[in-house]
């Protein structure tokens, strides 16, 4: 006997807004969060734009002294967790803190702090490197800081699986609640990679778009003119609860998390497996866990990175899993507006999928102007679509061959 697992709270910090409402409103209007980079001087860089979080002041949410000792990715996580707990009306002081988990994934953790401190080392010497470098750069520090800030005394760790990190955090938390290890889990991802070394590194492996003359149209998933992904930053957090916890608190439920599947390509460090074979296996595993058929899925939030190989192979994977239904199911890539948040992308997109399920609205794939013959499915081009949704799938795939798929279902009853 396993527990049912429900989503009771969401938190978002994104290039489209500092909370869930502002992010969602921009998404359904088809607004791009991409612009020229303001975080550092990009002269000499092949890519000079990204999807930055704008107008973010951590001291609006976190004590000033505390905020100084947190890398930007951990600041994002703290703010998203605050919103998610507020929406869930969950006060950790009124429950057993050992029955709660904090799992916050990140692909590259505090790389901005690391980048800054390398410069300090070079210019000022070893003795001037910050004593906070190590605790600020570690990928587990978002979950650690969340645990300390909110008194969460159960399992506390980070999942690190590149662009699948946030989905793996949510899937791992789902399994913990299902097994009865915890009653509540705060789970998702956070990332703040917009710094010189990260941009230079992704440019060197030919991953980023170079559309410097037109940043807002650079992220164009499934379009024939796509030339690479657009780096983004932010956080997405879900509060997951068991049925017993929901009933005990009389909590408002947003959706039920019913499926999670993970697989490995075992193929290449950056390229997806041929024809999306690994991605297809993750989708099939999530459907099996959810006890659903492909035709039960109303919408797919695609990984859709705007890279030539990913979009082509994800399309092939969807066709392999959904068969003839693949041409009828609505799909979209919200990365066309948010950019790619790396380890936080999967978590933000999971949260977006929950809101889509609630609102009966599918966010568009913007900048889809020149259809690619090899990407011939319904990607909800440029305009949001209203449609009653029963179950949604959120896909995430990462460097290293990591594949993950989550399925959320609308609530009919709590049994």
Contact present, 47 and 199 (Cβ < 8 Å): yes
Q: Is residue 104 in some structural domain?
A: yes
Q: How many domains does the chain have?
A: 2
Instruction: Check: pTM over 0.85? Answer yes or no.
Output: yes
Q: How many Å apart are CA 166 and CA 178, to the nearest integer?
A: 18
Indicate if 244 and 265 belong to the same structural domain: no
Confidence band, pLDDT 50/70/90 cuts, at residue 174: very high
pLDDT value at position 415?
66
Residues 323-348 pLDDT 10s: 999 999 999 999 999 999 999 999 99
Residue 1 has pLDDT above 80, yes or no: no
Indicate if 43 and 191 belong to the same structural domain: yes
Indicate if 128 and 206 belong to the same structural domain: yes
Indicate if 331 and 398 belong to the same structural domain: yes
205 catalytic? Reply is: no
Indicate if 234 and 297 belong to the same structural domain: no
Which of left, alpha, beta for 275 (phi over 0: left; psi -120 to 50: alpha)?
Answer: left
Catalytic residue among 163, 195, 375, 402: 163
Q: Which residues pair with 385 in a beta bridge?
A: 362
pLDDT value at position 276?
81
340 catalytic? Reply is: yes
- Write the DSSP assignment of 19-47 as a string of letters: SHHHHHHHHHTT----EE--SS--TT-S-
Q: What's the CATH number where 390 sits?
A: 3.40.47.10
Is residue 153 exposed (0-12), middle (13-18) or buried (19+ Cβ within 10 Å)? middle
Indicate if 174 and 119 belong to the same structural domain: yes
Indicate if 81 and 182 belong to the same structural domain: yes
Residues 252-305 pLDDT 10s: 999 999 999 999 888 787 777 777 889 999 999 999 999 999 999 999 999 999
Residue 355 has pLDDT above 80, yes or no: yes
Confidence band, pLDDT 50/70/90 cuts, at residue 308: very high
Q: What average pLDDT is seen over the chain?
A: 95
163 catalytic? Reply is: yes
Residues 23-60 pLDDT 10s: 999 999 999 999 999 999 999 999 999 999 999 999 99
Catalytic residue among 205, 217, 327, 340: 340
Q: How many Å apart are CA 263 and CA 282, to the nearest integer?
A: 5
pLDDT value at position 267?
79
Q: How many Å apart are CA 360 and CA 108, to the nearest integer?
A: 34
Span 120-126, mean pLDDT? 95
The range of the structural domain enclosing residue 368 comes to 259-409
Q: Is residue 415 in some structural domain?
A: no
Catalytic residue among 217, 252, 303, 327: 303
Q: Is residue 38 in some structural domain?
A: yes
Span 192-206, mean pLDDT? 95
Indicate if 34 and 63 belong to the same structural domain: yes
């Amino acid at each position: 006997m396993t527990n049912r697992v429900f989503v009771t709270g969401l938190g978002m910090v994104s290039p489209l807004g500092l909370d869930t409402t502002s992010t969602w409103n921009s998404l359904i209007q088809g607004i791009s969060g991409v612009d020229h980079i303001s975080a550092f001087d990009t002269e000499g860089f092949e890519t000079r734009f990204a999807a930055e979080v704008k107008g973010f002041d951590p001291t609006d949410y976190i004590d000033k002294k505390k905020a100084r000792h947190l890398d930007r990715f951990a600041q994002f996580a703290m703010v998203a967790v605050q919103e998610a707990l507020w929406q869930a009306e969950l006060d950790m002081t009124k429950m057993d803190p050992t029955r709660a988990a904090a799992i916050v994934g990140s692909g590259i953790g505090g790389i901005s702090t690391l980048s800054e401190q390398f410069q300090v080392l070079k210019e000022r010497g070893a003795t001037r490197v910050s004593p906070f470098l190590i605790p600020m750069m570690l990928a587990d520090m978002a979950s650690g800081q969340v645990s300390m800030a909110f008194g969460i005394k159960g399992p506390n760790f980070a999942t690190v699986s590149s662009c699948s990190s946030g989905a793996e955090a949510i899937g791992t938390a789902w399994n913990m609640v299902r097994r009865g290890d915890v009653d509540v889990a705060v789970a998702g991802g956070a990332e703040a990679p917009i710094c010189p070394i990260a941009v230079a590194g992704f440019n060197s492996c030919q991953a980023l778009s170079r559309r410097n003359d037109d940043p807002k149209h650079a992220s164009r998933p499934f379009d024939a003119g796509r030339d690479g992904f657009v780096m983004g930053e932010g956080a997405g957090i879900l509060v997951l609860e068991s049925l017993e916890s929901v009933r005990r608190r009389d909590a408002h439920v947003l959706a039920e998390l019913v499926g999670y599947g993970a697989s490995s390509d075992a193929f290449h460090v950056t390229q997806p497996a041929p024809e999306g074979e690994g991605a297809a296996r993750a989708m099939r595993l999530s459907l099996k866990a959810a006890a659903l058929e492909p035709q039960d899925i109303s919408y797919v939030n695609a990984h859709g990175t705007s890279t030539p190989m990913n979009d082509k192979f994800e399309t092939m994977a969807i066709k392999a899993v959904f068969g003839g239904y693949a041409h009828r199911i609505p799909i979209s890539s919200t990365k066309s507006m948010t950019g790619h948040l790396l380890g936080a992308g999967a978590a933000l997109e999971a949260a977006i999928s929950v809101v889509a399920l609630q609102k009966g609205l599918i966010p568009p794939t913007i900048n889809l102007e020149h259809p690619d013959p090899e990407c011939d499915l319904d990607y909800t081009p440029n305009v949001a679509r209203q449609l009653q949704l029963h179950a949604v799938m959120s896909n995430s795939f990462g460097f290293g061959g990591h594949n993950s798929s989550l399925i959320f279902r609308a609530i009919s009853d709590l049994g």
